[in-house]
Amino acid sequence: MNSAIKITLAATLSLISAFDAFAQEFTKGVVNKVDTKAQKVTVKHEELKNLDMPAMTMVFRVEDAALLEKLKQGSNIEFVADRVNGKLTITQVK
């Protein structure tokens, strides 16, 4: 019975970890510049907790062209950024 409890606990912890990975936290920012040709956007953002970065203005890659269409200079956004292939990339926009 002890091993059954350990297996159940391990499975539960794995599910919780997987859920945390999908529960991305959105960060507020303002779009300063959109470069559709280079698929990059400059954003003045609040602290990016998942990347351990303070508030600043920086350039992000945007892999999904559909996301680029949502980004207009001067607009307030909420977004998720992560490292994709070693590059800071916006992966979601509200």
CATH of the domain at 84: 2.40.50.320
Question: Tens digits of per-residue pLDDT, 48-78?
Answer: 999 999 999 999 999 888 999 889 999 999 9
Establish if 84 belongs to a structural domain.
yes
CB 27 within 8 A of CB 47: yes
pLDDT value at residue 23: 58
> How far is Cα 66 from Cα 1, in angstroms, rounded to an integer?
52
Establish if 11 belongs to a structural domain.
no
pLDDT value at residue 45: 97
Establish if 9 belongs to a structural domain.
no
Q: Per the structure, how many domains does the chain have?
A: 1
Taking residues 18-32, what's their average pLDDT? 75
Question: N- to C-terminal Cα distance for the chain?
Answer: 47
Closest listed residue to residue 89, CA positions, set 64, 68, 62: 62
What pTM was computed for the model?
0.74
Establish if 36 belongs to a structural domain.
yes
Establish if 54 belongs to a structural domain.
yes
Establish if 4 belongs to a structural domain.
no
Residue 44 lies in domain: 25-93
Establish if 7 belongs to a structural domain.
no
